[in-house]
Structure 1
Amino acid sequence: MQLTPKQLVELHGFNNLTKSLSFNMYDICYTKTKEERDAYLNYIDEQYNAQRLTKTLSNVTDIIGANILNVAKQDYVPQGASVTILVSEGPVDESPVESFEESPGPIPGSVIAQLDKSHITVHTYPESHPDEGISTFRADIDVSTCGEISPLKALHYLIHSFETDVMTIDYRVRGFTRDVNGHKLFIDHEINSIQNYIPDEIQMYYDMIDVNVYQENIFHTKCKLKEFDLDNYLFGYKKDKLTPDEQDIITHKLKSEMDEIFYGKNINNGLM
């Protein structure tokens, strides 16, 4: 049984459904030399250091209407960062009707909701290919809430907060809550696809695939940029510094990297 704005059910006690959003983003770059790779990693460490990531997650906390209880953050050597924020329920007088609707969230704004036993985390993973000149930066963000509102309301803001070539997004509702008659509710809002929480102006830039298991309240969407401009993937110079053959080879490597991440498997690119 699901709840809709027109079919609100009085619950027995607190809504203790757990709603978990996992947002994974990938930024890909071509770094031909060690100097270029080091410069790219330094840029990533500065762009996504623990302090800036804490600000991003704090904004997510505001969007989902939570209160920050504790912040733990760490920059790692030689690279990478982690932030974990423990949050508690925010005061609520009335749950907004729009919180049940499939629609993009703010960038950012305040959505008031009841939350408890909740947390938000981010971990970053810079890495590079030993031979092919490919450097990849991954950030994993997890938003887990208990209460009425879905953390999907923060997805719009998260997409805007990172430079993203490939995204994989997972959403799952776990556990159950009860109405006043003791009837179990395994989800409390309608959802057909994570894509309904991504604005049209963002969707137009991505190829998207859904893999959903509706009966288990498990939803998965992966996205890959449609347009490709080699200049956006070279660090410190433009493609006019390369020969046409070099441009073709590098483009092939970058596109193969994105395809492998998007499809989750290695692809034989035919280059030795």
Structure 2
Amino acid sequence: MNLTPQQRIELHGFNNLTKSLSFNMYDICYTRTKEEREAYLEYIDEQYSAERLTTILNHVSDIIGAHVLNIASQDFEPQGASVTLLVSEGPVENASNESFEESPGPLPESVVMQLDKSHITVHTYPEYHPDEGISTFRADIDVSTCGEISPLKALHYLIRSFDTDIMIMDYRVRGFTRDKNGHKLFIDHEISSIQNYIPDELIDLFDMIDVNVYQEHIFHTKCKLRNFDLNNYLFGYTKEKLNQEEIKEITESLKMEMDEIFYGKNII
């Protein structure tokens, strides 16, 4: 199937394809003491409270042109939050042929798309290593749409909404729809990589790996921040307060944490 941006598939009935984007982000910090760790977790809970996460997901809903039907949100003790939005099809008059293009999606002020029944969820998981001073914050976001538009159009905004060291993204198209002649369609748009939905200026910041199963319509991309500045991983102080041995030890510990998350396995 080779579609140009001007072409649309004429369907028999409703587009029943389900398109799911799972976006996982990780923020890593070095916290030397119990007090620093507690302060970091308090900061994370404030930065990514259920209220702020609701705002982010509402913007995602705007980007994909959805009406919010219901919102369920919860801040958890001692930390973490969850938000779920149930959404339905938005106005169709703003639908765009950009739906078929492999290109980064808009930010919230530029809404040009539509979708049908869908849900958007986010869950956060702050955690820490009991002995080695590593604190890690993870956010899991899922955007699932049923209809023409791919949730990948929300990826650009999601990346800019989180301060992330590592991103792991999965996109899959499920089910089938039928064209006007009854022929089954298991995907309705061209896609070669999730990376094509990320702006170049963001791609330049990360090392990226793709693992794609094209015949199954499964796409996987993971990203690790390319440049390492220790000051970005210290909470409440800078490396000038550390000696060279401490700098070396902390740097190695942080880089190992990032590599283990990125490669999905324990290095030692």
Same fold (TM over 0.5): yes
Partner of 1:35: 35
Q: Shift in Å at residue 2 of structure 1?
A: 6.0
Q: Which amino acid aligns with 2:32?
A: K
Tell me, yes or no, if the aligned pair for 2:212 and 2:218 is still in contact at 8 Å: yes
Q: Deviations over 1:4-46 (max 9, x none)?
A: 4354221011111000000000000000100000000000000
Tell me, yes or no, if the aligned pair for 2:63 and 2:113 is still in contact at 8 Å: no
Partner of 1:240: 240
Aligned residues between the structures: 268
* Structure 2 Cα separation of the partners of residues 144 and 189 of structure 1: 16
Partner of 1:44: 44
* Identity across the alignment (%): 78
Stretch of structure 1 that moved more, 110-119 or 10-19: 110-119
CA change 1:187–1:181 in 2 (3 A) is same
Q: Does 2:115 correspond to 1:115?
A: yes
* Structure 1 Cα separation of the partners of residues 253 and 9 of structure 2: 53
Partner of 1:22: 22
Tell me, yes or no, if the aligned pair for 2:15 and 2:147 is still in contact at 8 Å: yes
Q: Does 2:267 correspond to 1:267?
A: yes
DSSP-derived class of the 1:220 partner: strand
Tell me, yes or no, if the aligned pair for 1:30 and 1:250 is still in contact at 8 Å: yes
Partner of 1:71: 71
Partner of 1:250: 250
Tell me, yes or no, if the aligned pair for 1:2 and 1:187 is still in contact at 8 Å: no
Q: Shift in Å at residue 94 of structure 1?
A: 6.0
* Structure 2 Cα separation of the partners of residues 51 and 210 of structure 1: 33
Counterpart mapping for 1:158-177 below 5 A: 158-177=158-177
DSSP-derived class of the 1:73 partner: strand
Q: Which amino acid aligns with 1:247?
A: I
Q: Which amino acid aligns with 1:173?
A: V
* Structure 2 Cα separation of the partners of residues 103 and 199 of structure 1: 8
Tell me the TM-score normalised to structure 2 length: 0.97
Tell me the TM-score normalised to structure 1 length: 0.96
CA change 1:177–1:2 in 2 (3 A) is farther
What's the C-alpha RMSD, in Å, of the aligned pairs?
A: 1.1
DSSP-derived class of the 1:137 partner: strand
Tell me, yes or no, if the aligned pair for 1:65 and 1:110 is still in contact at 8 Å: no
Q: Which amino acid aligns with 2:10?
A: E
Partner of 2:8: 8
DSSP-derived class of the 2:212 partner: coil
Q: Which amino acid aligns with 2:23?
A: F
Q: Shift in Å at residue 180 of structure 1?
A: 1.3
DSSP-derived class of the 1:212 partner: strand
Q: Deviations over 1:186-239 (max 9, x none)?
A: 111100000000111001110000000000000000000010000000001000
Structure 1: gaps of 5 or more residues: none
Q: Deviations over 1:139-170 (max 9, x none)?
A: 00000001111110000000000000000000
DSSP-derived class of the 1:156 partner: helix
